[in-house]
Homo-oligomer: A and B are copies of this chain.
Amino acid sequence: MDDSGKLCSNVIHMSSDSPTYSPLYRQIKTLLVQALEAGEWRPGELIPSEMELATRFNVSQGTVRKAIDELAAGNLLLRRQGKGTFVASHNDPRAFFRFLRLVPLSGDIEPSRSVPLECWRAKAGTEAARVLDLKVGDPIVIVRRVLEFAGKPVVADEIYLPGDVFAGLTLELMKESQESLYTLFEARFGVRMIRAVERLRAVAADRSSTELLHVAEGSPLLSVERLSYTYGDKPVEWRRGLYLTQDHCYLNELG
């Protein structure tokens, strides 16, 4: 029992009838999430082995294992046999299509390209404040960009971000980086998107989208409103995308 630095093991072996009972492995899970949140290990990095964590938290390896199992199931961690357990990253190709469900109607994978158009600062209105859990008037960043597939514009996005977290975000930064937006966010701002909720509707194309997507006014477009969360279920991105579903569709697996 050393508690040598870092997060010490405030783990409790409780027995029954406590109103706040939580199994050991869940406490370990919480401690691990806190460590991730605190940046003890960055995305892509290797975390300590199960045995090391077991001694650190003063539990058996099996208990650590169960905690890691759940985190891996939630895509927070990534296990690789023989190598170790890593912090999940949007850089990983396996994680890329988790948040972009658009696929060509017929045919194979197409190269995609993000084209940033604008990036400016503003103050949060009532709606932005509500969904991003800010106060009205708090600084926000607004980004507009287009996503191209095979050279053709398919998605027009408008993205709202909390200004304090993304203080240094500029149009140039997005233009320079060839990676996905989420990769940029996690590499430059330490913000990793964990999960998101999307609301889909069919809408008619308005003026601005007709120009960006080269379609007639009134054409049906798929409106995708997304709220993304980072560690601790904190909302950190609100975006609205208009998807042209002439040659693509939104693919969804119901499990």
Which residues of A are interface residues toward B (Cβ below 8 A)?
73-75, 98-99, 101, 195-204, 218-223, 225-226, 243, 245, 249-255
Known: A218-B218, A220-B220, A220-B221. A202 touches B254 (CB 8 A): no
- CB-CB under 8 A from A201, the residues of chain B are 222, 245, 249-250
- CB-CB under 8 A from A252, the residues of chain B are 197-200, 252
Question: In the assembly, how many copies of this chain are there?
Answer: 2
Chain B residue nearest to A244 (CB atoms) is B202
Distance, CA A101 to CA B198, complexed state (A)? 11
A161 vs chain B, min Cβ distance (A):
18
B251 and A195 within 8 A (CB): no
Known: A218-B218, A220-B221. A249 touches B99 (CB 8 A): no
A249 and B200 within 8 A (CB): yes
Known: A196-B253, A218-B218, A225-B249. 5 other contacts (CB 8 A): A98-B254, A101-B254, A197-B251, A202-B203, A204-B219
Distance, CA A218 to CA B249, complexed state (A)? 19
Q: Which 5 A-B pairs have the closest CB atoms?
A: A220-B220, A201-B245, A202-B220, A202-B202, A200-B250
- CB-CB under 8 A from A223, the residues of chain B are 202
A195 and B253 within 8 A (CB): yes
- CB-CB under 8 A from A101, the residues of chain B are 254
Distance, CA A195 to CA B220, complexed state (A)? 28
